[in-house]
Amino acid sequence: MANKIEMKVPLVEMDGDEMTRVIWGMIKDLLLKPYIDLKTEYYDLGLKKRDETEDQVTVDAANAIKKYGVGVKCATITPNADRVKEYNLKKMWKSPNGTIRAILDGTVFRAPIIVNSIKPFVKTWKKPIIIARHAYGDVYKNVEFRVGGPGKAELVFTSESGEETRQTIHEFDGKGVLMGMHNTDKSIRSFARACFTYALDQKVDLWFATKDTISKTYDHTFKDIFQEIYENEFKEKFEAANIEYFYTLIDDAVARIIRSEGGMLWACKNYDGDVMSDMVATAFGSLAMMTSVLVSPEGYYEYEAAHGTVQRHYYKHLKGEETSTNSIATLFAWTGALKKRGEIDGINELVEFASRLESAALRTIDEGVMTKDLAQLSEIEDKRIVNTEDFLKEIKLRLEESM
Ligand code: NAP
Ligand code: MG
């Protein structure tokens, strides 16, 4: 191509760790820079740099997303005791994703990337099911108590002005267990707004489910807040976009999802999202074909792959052994971010290029050229398993054919 596509506003680029860092560089060199005058503001979230900067680099990156609106992030190591030793860290730094999510107050949406030659385990599923998981409260911020013997458990709330409300939870006549959990209207509201906003963005129906028949105050509040925000802020926009907001009970939702064709955004409470996102990801085939986007209620977007840094492959790579690591989810993080940048800045060429690149990637797999992880799932008979770099080169071939 003679002229590279110009960008106006930079993308916030967050580099990462291990095998995905290797892939990151390859994607930029092979598939992006030759065609786009790639403008990014670069933040190195690799563990070494996070340690050097006392994790300030992660905070700076999150603030940059607030400034520019769109970011793309490589997978990063969340340190544990082993990593502290391996990298000789000053501290066991927190998960960068957690830090960024807290600063942007965002909701994470996960969606499978679908190719014709890999069939979901659920036969009826034809379109992606996007899962949104509420990332605050409930059982993840609970207080638990092991009841040692007979006694009375009470739920006590003391208001700021000192008024007390008291309810009996249970009169124990022997041992048992107790748990207290909470959520806040503020967090539920921003979760709801993020879900409605993303459903509109993707032009898909929004499903939400709780157990409000049993949990008449706790879960019912979630239901009411969603309904109120829908009616006051989104109903007209949904009708104009010809999409629906659908509320049902969680058990009914599970049954309907399995029988559906897919193609909806499923908003889940924290625990439901934990369980259902793994179920949906597995049923669609592979974690390496799953994208993830963090959307804030103000409409900031951060794109990434759902998988980690693929450590085992990286150690092979370091030893000079050949790897066959799937770069699709990382590539789609880039194309997602470029499309969004193009949409916001009115650069049609950028949106088109990103779509073309996505099609070339999917065509590569459907034509039987794939990485090892996909070979086990693909129904194609004549398969060619390629290494990490050759896979990207095969995508490049098909991209150039299409231009
Ligand atoms: P992982 O990187 O997702 O990899 C787990 C296994 O899944 C791999 O060993 C590999 O299986 C397979 N796999 C995942 N992605 C693949 C790909 N693109 N291509 C081919 N195979 C793929 O999870 P992990 O090994 O448990 O975690 C490694 C590091 O990633 C950890 O330090 C963790 O903190 C971090 N992590 C980061 C994020 C994030 O930044 N969003 C998310 C999760 C984990 P085989 O080895 O069998 O081939
Ligand atoms: Mg889980």
pLDDT in tens, 79-90: 999 999 999 999
C-beta of 288 in contact with ligand 1 (< 6 A): yes
Does residue 40 surpass a pLDDT of 70? yes
Pocket test for ligand 1, best of 24, 73, 133, 307 (most atoms within 8 A of CB): 307
- 245 CA → ligand 2 middle, Å: 26
- 74 CA → ligand 1 middle, Å: 12
Please name the residue that has the structure tokens 């499903």.
Answer: 207
C-beta of 373 in contact with ligand 1 (< 6 A): yes
The Cα–Cα gap between 290 and 326 comes to 11
Q: Give the residue extent of every domain in the chain.
A: 1-117+293-403, 119-141+183-284, 143-180
Topology of the domain covering 119-141+183-284: Isopropylmalate Dehydrogenase (3.40.718)
- Residue whose C-alpha is closest to residue 370's, from 390, 398, 399: 390
C-beta of 316 in contact with ligand 1 (< 6 A): no
- 274 CA → ligand 2 middle, Å: 4
**Segment 72-80 mean pLDDT:** 96
C-beta of 248 in contact with ligand 1 (< 6 A): no
- Give the number of whichever ligand sits closest to the CA of residue 95: 1
- 290 CA → ligand 2 middle, Å: 14
Residue 135's pLDDT band, with cuts at 50, 70 and 90, is confident
Residue 354 pLDDT:
98
Does residue 68 surpass a pLDDT of 60? yes
C-beta of 308 in contact with ligand 1 (< 6 A): yes
| pTM, entire model | 0.89
Write down the CATH number for the domain with range 1-117+293-403. 3.40.718.10
- Give the number of whichever ligand sits closest to the CA of residue 76: 1
- Residue whose C-alpha is closest to residue 53's, from 44, 63, 40: 44
**DSSP per position, 219-267:** HHHHHHHHHHHIIIIIHHHHHHHT--EEEEEHHHHHHHHHHS---EEEE
Does residue 2 surpass a pLDDT of 70? no
Residue 104 pLDDT:
87
Residue 160 pLDDT:
97
Please give the mean pLDDT across all residues of the chain: 95
- 275 CA → ligand 2 middle, Å: 6
Atom of ligand 1 nearest to the CA of 73: 40
Name every residue whose Cβ is closer than 8 Å to that of residue 52 and which is 6 or more positions away in sequence. none
- Give the number of whichever ligand sits closest to the CA of residue 21: 1
Does residue 1 surpass a pLDDT of 60? no
Compute the C-alpha angle 16/104/160, nearest 5°. 135
Q: What token pair was written down for 33?
A: 């820079």
C-beta of 260 in contact with ligand 1 (< 6 A): no
Instruction: Give, using CA atoms, the residue closest to atom 46 of ligand 1.
Output: 312
